[in-house]
Amino acid sequence: MILYITAGFLTGMLMGLTGVGGGAVMTPILLLLFGIAPATAIGTDLWFASLTKSVAVGMHHNTNLIDWMVVRRMWAGSLPATAITILLMKFGYIGVDVRLLKYGIGIAVVLTALSILFKQQLHNLGQNFRLRDAGQFKQLQFPLTILSGLLLGVMVSLTSIGAGAFGAMILTYLYPLRMTPHKLVATDIAHAIPLTMIAGLGHLLIGNVNFSLLGQLMLGSVPGVILGVFLSTRLPQEWLRYAIVLCLLLVGGKLLLS
């Protein structure tokens, strides 16, 4: 029990600090350290992420950091995509193979690490495009935001990974002048909550949620995320970025080779 609470606390703190950690960190922990079955790890983690991020978004909302216009645009793509993906899984149109599931999670973790590593380069590309051709950029911004949300919805439903790091990467590129680092974290977390909640509800109906495990993780994650949000505007995040990237690459590699 202590190990589950500790894992919840550390992951929650990471989510509060960076917006990353729900799927990309907790799902591999459940798979590699605790030996939880992939489908159960995904379903349980989706509820863990949505509940933990709900605490975080309440604190960020009080600081007016959430850009609700951007959140609504992302939801327009991600929420319908999540619902459709879950329905396809429920009725057997999308099968779940354990080996393929672990492989898919491993790929998602590695891609998450790369998106964090190259986030600044993507921001620079988006900023250059925005300043060079503002008219075309604004014309593409809305449909690309919805399309990105759609892809996130499918990915999160299948692997529980992507709502944090991939969401932040997308917002970094598509809103380079609108998003400050702290605003990016808060907006990304706000978008992820209903996304992970709908996906989690679907996995609950399929029977992939372990509530005993979820409760123990939440005992640690709630104080962890509160501490993380408190520290997020007070600590430089550059050193955290490289540490997270290294850990994710090692974990992703382990999942792909196991």
Q: In this predicted model, what pLDDT tens digit does every residue of 111-153 receive, in sequence order?
A: 888 888 888 888 888 889 888 888 888 899 999 999 999 999 9
Look at residue 61 in the predicted model and tell me its pLDDT: 54
Closest CA to 200 of 60, 70, 41: 41
Cα(86)–Cα(93) distance, rounded to whole angstroms? 10
Cα(34)–Cα(165) distance, rounded to whole angstroms? 24
Half-sphere exposure of 249 (CA within 13 A, CB side): 11
Percent of the chain with pLDDT over 90: 33
**Helix, strand, coil % over all residues of the chain, rounded to 5:** 80, 0, 20
Look at residue 237 in the predicted model and tell me its pLDDT: 65
Cα(159)–Cα(113) distance, rounded to whole angstroms? 15
Which domain covers residue 107, as residue numbers? 2-257
Band (pLDDT 50/70/90 cuts) for residue 233 is low
Question: Is pLDDT of 244 > 90?
Answer: no
Structure tokens at 139: 């014309």
Calculate the alpha carbon distances from 258 to 27, 45, 99 in Å.
15, 21, 9
Structure tokens at 173: 């590129």
Q: What is the tally of structural domains in the chain?
A: 1
Question: Is pLDDT of 214 > 90?
Answer: yes
Band (pLDDT 50/70/90 cuts) for residue 96 is low
Structure tokens at 84: 């459709």
Query: pLDDT tens digits, residue range 38-49?
Result: 889 999 999 998
